Amino acid sequence: EDFNRALLLIEKMHSQQLGKSAGYQMKMVGYFIEFLQIICSSVEKKSIKNDAWEKHSQTVSSLAMNLAKNCHKDWSVKKMCKDYSMSRSVLFREFKKYYSISPVAFLNNQRLHKVCVMLEESDENIEYIALKCGFANGSYMATAFKQAYDITPLKYRKQYLIHRRLKTEILN
């Protein structure tokens, strides 16, 4: 069953890569996360067979998928704990066990990836992109972006546009 689900996801990723429609990168990230979850789940199922693992694994997996797909929404640790019926310490411990990162860092990574896609695919201003990606404001988003990628969002957009223009010229 896991093997067939993994193959189906690989086919979807291949199809997205070939099509490259608007927003395909976010879909690819979602598919890839789901693919990794299938693999991790499959490996863990073979080595650990207990109800607590099964419950936490599914809960954490569901949370990660929800964070990835809805990174633009307002998430707090309190909301995560409430929505997924876990204490703060269990949430962080279990999430880190499966993803090697805290749920907050995971959410910020998803948001920053969405920022990259919007910088590449739109002409919207930084404030608009920040709000659409779940950041409180453009200044905070720009600081988080610079810290994560060592480049400002505007420089990133400029470099991407130059790269795309050069690529187009080479292909033509």
Determine the average pLDDT of the residues in 44-63: 69
**pLDDT of residue 39 exceeding 90:** no
pTM of the model: 0.69
Q: Are 64 and 33 in contact (CB under 8 A)?
A: yes
Residue that wins the pLDDT comparison between 12 and 107: 107
**pLDDT of residue 103 exceeding 90:** yes
**pLDDT of residue 122 exceeding 60:** yes
Exposure pattern of 74-107 as b/e (b: 16+ CB <10 Å)? Answer: ebeeeebbeebebeeeebbebbeebbeeebeebb
Residue that wins the pLDDT comparison between 163 and 156: 156
Residue that wins the pLDDT comparison between 124 and 33: 124
Percent of the chain beyond pLDDT 90?
55
**pLDDT of residue 53 exceeding 60:** no
What confidence tens digit (pLDDT) does each residue in 139-155 have?
999 999 999 999 999 99
